Amino acid sequence: MSSKKALRPSQRKTLVGHLIDHWQVSIKRACAVCKQPRSGWYHRPQPRVEDAPLAARMCEIAATRVRYGFWRIYVLMRREGYRANHKRLYRIYKQHGLNLRTKRPRRRKAAAHRLARPSLTAPNQSWSMDFVSDALFNGKPFRALTLIDNFTRECLTIEVGQSLTGQDVVQVLQRVCKQRPAPIRIQADNGPEFISLALDKWAYDRQVTLDFSRPGKPTDNPFIESFNRSLRDECLNTSWFMSLPDACEKLENWRCDYNHLRPHSALADTAPSVFASKFSPSQTTPVSLA
């Protein structure tokens, strides 16, 4: 027996069954003779689940959400009830060439010297706002004002216009503050719309602090920079805008998807609105950050 080729586990199991059936020996004895662990005899193989349904759904998500990486697709599939573990899904993900190759810039030395920010403990303590630019199908440019809550990561609004002034920024903030309390602090860059007298007066009347980034330091306002990158990757770069109303509609649809469905890695892969719903109305009232 030692000179012969070793038997495969399936062959050993067949031989164990032959000894039990024809020689009436015990399972323990038969397994010992064939050098087969008894756990292997009692094990019953489970039917293999095909990868095709998993691959089809994964490709469908990747086709509609072109900038989602593996982990966001994995979270969405787990939400839909697929029980396959991350190793199996990642194998399928790579087999179908869905892995994205995106190089992130290296951290600069100046990042260690950012301005100190107070810790956030509730919604409406700190907001961030900025502008993004794009163009219609005919090359006509437009701008969009983005406003987010830094704690819940919710996008509060996206205002689209051909040209937006400081007065337009004030009107947007007034509209948002009718739906939720005004924040303690608003972070923004030094753009002319944000340093306007109209916005300064609105903030002074409501005791809101305008926290401006240092010139040439976009990392002082990381929340809105990260949001704008997602907006550009997942919406602006993947959509054609036929007119300003069309741009408004598509950006609003993306904002709703971002707030209610899109997994956010900073929120344990929950959507911003789901994370915000954990806080009672009393907790959403701003408190002092001092």
pLDDT tens per residue across span 28-65 = 888 888 888 888 788 776 666 688 889 999 988 888 77
CB 214 within 8 A of CB 42: no
Mean pLDDT rounded to a whole number for the chain: 84
Question: For residues 214 and 75, which has the higher predicted lDDT (pLDDT)?
Answer: 75
In a domain, 106, yes or no: no
pLDDT for 126-166, tens place per residue? 999 999 999 999 999 999 999 999 999 999 999 999 989 99
Same domain, 128 and 257: yes
Q: Which amino acid is at 23?
A: W
pLDDT tens column, 199-219: 999 999 999 988 888 877 878
For residue 100, is it within any domain?
no
What is the predicted pLDDT for the residue at 248?
96
Residue partners of 108: CB distance under 8 A and separation at least 6: 219
Structure tokens at 269: 């892969």
Q: Is 80 in the same domain as 172?
A: no
Most confident of 73-87, 114-128, 250-264: 250-264
Same domain as 188, residue 227: yes
DSSP state of 270: B
Residue 240 and residue 146 share a domain: yes
Structural Rg of the chain based on CA atoms? 29
Check whether residue 155 and residue 25 sit in a common domain. Answer: no
Assess if residue 284 is contained within a domain. no
Q: Do residue 129 and residue 182 come from a single domain? A: yes
Return the structure tokens found at 179. 């739906």
CATH no. for residue 167?
3.30.420.10
**Within this chain, do residues 141 and 197 fall inside the same structural domain, yes or no?**
yes
In this structure, the answer to whether residues 66 and 169 fall within a common structural domain is no
pLDDT recorded at residue 146? 97
Q: Please check whether residue 101 lies inside any domain of the structure.
A: no
Q: Encoding tokens for residue 260?
A: 């209610």
User: Is 215 a member of any domain?
Assistant: yes
* Number of domains present in the structure of the chain: 3
Alpha helices, H only, the chain: 9-23, 27-34, 38-42, 52-64, 70-79, 86-95, 166-177, 197-205, 222-234, 244-260, 272-276
Higher pLDDT, 264 or 7: 264
Instruction: Please indicate, yes or no, whether residues 60 and 149 belong to a single structural domain of this protein.
Output: no
Q: Is the pLDDT of residue 107 over 80?
A: no
Residue 34, pLDDT score? 84
90: which 2 tokens?
A: 């990642």
Give yes or no: residues 79 and 147 share one domain: no
The predicted structure's pLDDT at residue 187: 92
* Residues 184, 121: Cα–Cα separation, whole Å: 12
Q: Is residue 277 part of a domain?
A: no
| Residues 184 and 83 placed together within one structural domain of the fold | no
State the residue range of the domain holding 19: 9-42
Task: Let me know if residue 182 belongs to a domain.
Answer: yes
Residues forming a β-bridge with 155: 148
Q: Would residue 79 count as lying in a domain?
A: yes
Measured between alpha carbons, how far is 255 from 131 in angstroms, rounded to an integer?
15
Q: Are residues 152 and 63 in the same domain?
A: no
For residue 204, CA distances in Å to 126, 150, 200, 201, 261 come to 16, 21, 6, 5, 36
pLDDT tens per residue, range 110-130: 233 344 567 888 999 999 999
**Token pair for 39:** 């756990």
pLDDT reported for residue 257: 95
Choice between 111 and 238, residue whose per-residue pLDDT is larger: 238
This model's pTM is above 0.85: no
